[in-house]
Amino acid sequence: MRAATACLGTEAGRKVKITSRARRRRRAFYTFVTPWLVGFILLTTLPLIAGLLTSLTNYDGLNLFNVDFVGMRNYASVLKDPNARHGVNRTLMWSLLNLPLWMICSLLLAILVNRKVKGIGVFRTLLYIPSVIPGVALVWTWKIILEQNFGLLNGFLSLFRPGTGIGWLTKYALGGVTAIAVWNGLGAGMIIFLAGLQGIPDELVEAARIDGANNFQVFWNVTLPMMTPVLFYQLVLGLIGAFQQFVIPLLVTTTAQQGIPVRGAYLYMIHVYQQIFATGRFGYGMALLWLLIIVIVLLTGVVFATQRYWVYTEIGEV
């Protein structure tokens, strides 16, 4: 009897300890997650709701007493706005130029620095530095290089063809801005791809080489399939970032004589900025932003829907 009582007491004590431990874990979880949750609600959810409500009004950013509900009129106006259509066109062109070039160059750089040689960490650091350069310094550096009349690049080309004055930031603004953005993002992309490359088991590469595969065959049949989850991750983030690009084209191509970027680099987000802050059409600008959110969500959904056909994982089909 005493043994049974002692056994029950021990089991009850164990349950109390487990309950107490679970309670402490639960308390720690909510303690750590609450700051993020509060920030998400205050800085993301509520602004999104406020932006959606604003897009249904004629709010001009100043007078709250003359705000009228206009329904879907702002969204209908987007379809009639030639500048919005031009911004969509330029943004699509930007995405088709920037995203593939950035991913390919980042992957090639990652393959290049994925070597076990002395001093490789120094090269990785040097290649990553452009990604942490402040935006204004980045813009002015590239303006010195790409300026049409006094730029270093045209000056170098003039050594072979005197009088060269290619408009890298005017006539070919989209290409010039793409080069700047790709160069600026190479370091961050390289780091992600490098992490993926170092996660590929050496046994797979060695087995392929034993079977007689050359370097290209190893890359195509082993490395690339194993990298598809990382490629998928980079594609999603790069697609979202490409449609939201704003700072580089605005700062690089805007001059004192012309308060807006050149038409070749007039991206969708620049049009949003002009509508909100230059003309005070807050309601219309919010409608533009919400349409952008919808497009990004749809395109991201398409990418997720297609991943089963080209993304390989260790557990088989996604």
Rounded CA-CA distance 80/288 in Å is: 12
Helix (H/G/I), strand (E/B), else coil: 198: helix
- Residues 49, 19: one domain? yes
Q: Classify residue 316 as left (phi > 0), alpha (psi -120 to 50) or beta.
A: left
Residue listed under structure tokens 């600026």: 184
Residue 169: give the domain boundaries: 76-309
pLDDT by residue (tens digit) across 160-193?
Answer: 888 888 888 888 989 999 999 999 999 999 999 9
288 touches 275 (CB < 8 A): yes
Query: What CATH number is given to the structural domain containing 196?
Result: 1.10.3720.10
- Residues 168, 225: one domain? yes
- Residues 168, 82: one domain? yes
In this prediction, residue 317 carries a pLDDT of 47
157 part of a folded domain:
yes
pLDDT by residue (tens digit) across 131-156?
Answer: 888 888 888 899 899 988 888 998 88
- Residues 60, 94: one domain? no
Please give the sequence-ordered ranges of beta strands (E in DSSP) within 198-287, or none if there are none. none
In this prediction, residue 314 carries a pLDDT of 64
- Residues 22, 87: one domain? no
Q: List Cβ neighbours of 94 (8 Å cut-off, separation of 6 or more).
A: 174, 177, 178, 242, 245, 267
- Residues 196, 173: one domain? yes
139 part of a folded domain:
yes
316 part of a folded domain:
no
Number of domains in the chain: 2
- Residues 47, 178: one domain? no
143 part of a folded domain:
yes
> What is the mean pLDDT, run by run of 10 residues, along the chain of 318 residues?
51 61 86 92 92 91 82 91 94 94 94 87 89 87 88 89 86 90 92 92 88 88 91 94 90 73 89 90 93 94 92 64
In this prediction, residue 121 carries a pLDDT of 87
- Residues 57, 85: one domain? no
8 part of a folded domain:
no
- Residues 20, 157: one domain? no
- Residues 271, 212: one domain? yes
71 part of a folded domain:
no
- Residues 186, 299: one domain? yes
In this prediction, residue 318 carries a pLDDT of 46
- Residues 87, 43: one domain? no
In this prediction, residue 296 carries a pLDDT of 95
CA angle 224, 131, 304 (to 5 degrees): 40
4 part of a folded domain:
no
In this prediction, residue 261 carries a pLDDT of 81
318 part of a folded domain:
no
